Amino acid sequence: MTLDVNYLAIVLAAIAQIVIGMPWYGEMLFGKIWMAETGMTKEKANSNMKKNGALIMMGAFIGSFVMAFVLTQVMREFGSDSWTGAVSAAFWIWLGFYATTQLGPVLWEGKSMQLWLVNTTYSLVSLVVSALIIFAFV
């Protein structure tokens, strides 16, 4: 089976990443931890969204779209022709590129492992969900 580029699937995967990120980094899940670890305050976050909300959301969508597009290419190259293959591709991308590169701020900038865990588990969850969405449209 050939994994064709389905732009609807890529757009849906990009939207899913943003939808997952809202509660992840919001008060519902890990927002308090993330804010404490990054020095962000509610006031600063609200001010940023008021001033640059459209730009922030557009940037988030573009980044998520590119990630979903590249994930599609990787899944195609590695012949991810099952849901387990899709999840496997997402996991290996996460392990090789997200989990490892996010260690830099921990090792060199003094960021906490707790922040690493919040950010990298978000990356893993969003990659897996994106891979499953992309696979569902094959």
Q: Which pLDDT does position 110 carry in this prediction?
A: 95
45: DSSP letter? H
Q: Which pLDDT does position 4 carry in this prediction?
A: 73
10-residue mean pLDDT series, the chain (138 residues): 81 98 96 96 94 96 97 92 95 97 96 97 98 93
Q: What is the distance between the alpha carbons of residues 86 and 107, in angstroms, rounded to a whole number? A: 31
Q: Which pLDDT does position 2 carry in this prediction?
A: 56
Q: Which pLDDT does position 138 carry in this prediction?
A: 78
C-beta of residue 134 within 8 angstroms of C-beta of residue 10: yes
State the pTM of this model. 0.92
The predicted-structure confidence for 11-50, as pLDDT tens digits, reads as follows: 999 999 999 999 999 999 999 999 999 999 999 999 999 9
